[in-house]
Structure 1
Amino acid sequence: MRLYGLKNCDTCRKALKSLPQAEFVDVRSEGVPQGILEAALTQFGDALLNTRSTTWRGLDATEQARPPMDLLISHPTLMKRPLIATEHKMYLGWTAVTKEALGVA
């Protein structure tokens, strides 16, 4: 299991604490493999983009209009967090649904 997020993100830290077996990948320093991004975009669509982030608000309208894949490659911090990838499934965000699916109380 891999948890893609930011090391200074409170939500990512909570998820990692609850999933000690997960391998943490800091998207700011390591990025997200293109195959993972493609699969996540297919599964989650535009929900993968965090349009409430300071990074998003800092982009001009031309940048914001770029395709999501291009934006996420250029600005990995635009990805909603955490993105949790298991061998067979992906989860986005640290929600009650995600916690229940991963067996976390």
Structure 2
Amino acid sequence: MTKIYGIKNCDTIKKALKWLTEQQLDFTYIDYRQDGLTAELLAEFSAACGWQNLLNTRGTTYRQLPQEDKENLDETKALALMLAQPAMIKRPLLWHKEQYHLGFKPEQYQQIFDL
């Protein structure tokens, strides 16, 4: 089963969902804000992708954090921040064939789905 995780107002999520739909691929969309996010699932994401890759430091949510939240960042602190504010998780996060894939580019998805 293919799953795609993100937040609905993200432009990259919209592009990825459109691409998947246009390719007539079966998938389940999980919205962190609507469907929720558990610490266990976030830890699984981190184990698969690395917390540094998962944390979107270029996004508005991260940039607006107080400086003390950004200092001495380690996995525990980063996961707590992402759990509290899922907009800090890079998007989309795709689960397909027992693997996680971060980001969206049509070429990347073509390779993932063997198209």
What TM-score range do you get, normalising by the shorter chain?
0.7 to 0.9
Of the candidates 26, 33, 53, which is equivalent to residue 31 of structure 2?
26
Tell me if the contact between 1:31 and 1:76 (Cα under 8 Å) persists in the aligned partners: no
Partner of 2:111: 100
Query: In the alignment, is residue 70 of structure 1 matched against residue 76 of structure 2?
Result: no
- Report the identity percentage: 33
Q: Name the stretch that deviates more: 66-75 or 24-33.
A: 24-33
Q: Distance in 1 between matches of 2:44 and 2:110?
A: 21
| Kept in 2: contact 1:5–1:25 (CA 8 A) | yes
- Partner amino acid, structure 1, of 2:66: D
The whole-number CA distance in structure 1 between the counterparts of 2:37 and 2:101 is 15
Tell me: higher relative CO, structure 1 or 2? Use CA pairs within 8 A at least 6 residues apart: 2
Q: 1-side partners of 2:62 and 2:101: how far apart?
A: 22
Tell whether the 8 Å contact from 1:83 to 1:90 is kept in structure 2 after alignment.
Answer: yes
Instruction: Name 2:44's counterpart in structure 1.
Output: 39
Which secondary structure state, in structure 1, belongs to the residue aligned with residue 94 of structure 2?
strand
**Normalized against structure 1, the TM-score is what?**
0.84
Letter paired with 1:37: L
Amino acid at match of 2:65: L
Q: Between Structure 1 and Structure 2, how many residues are aligned?
A: 104
Aligned equivalents of 2:110 and 2:44: distance in 1?
21
Structure 1 gaps of 5+ residues are none
Structure 2, unaligned runs of 5 or more: none
After superposing the two structures, state which structure 1 stretch, 28-37 or 80-89, moved more: 28-37
Q: CA deviation at 1:34?
A: 2.8
Counterparts in 2 of 1:40 and 1:99: CA distance versus 1, 3 Å: farther
2:64 to 58, 78, 96: 58
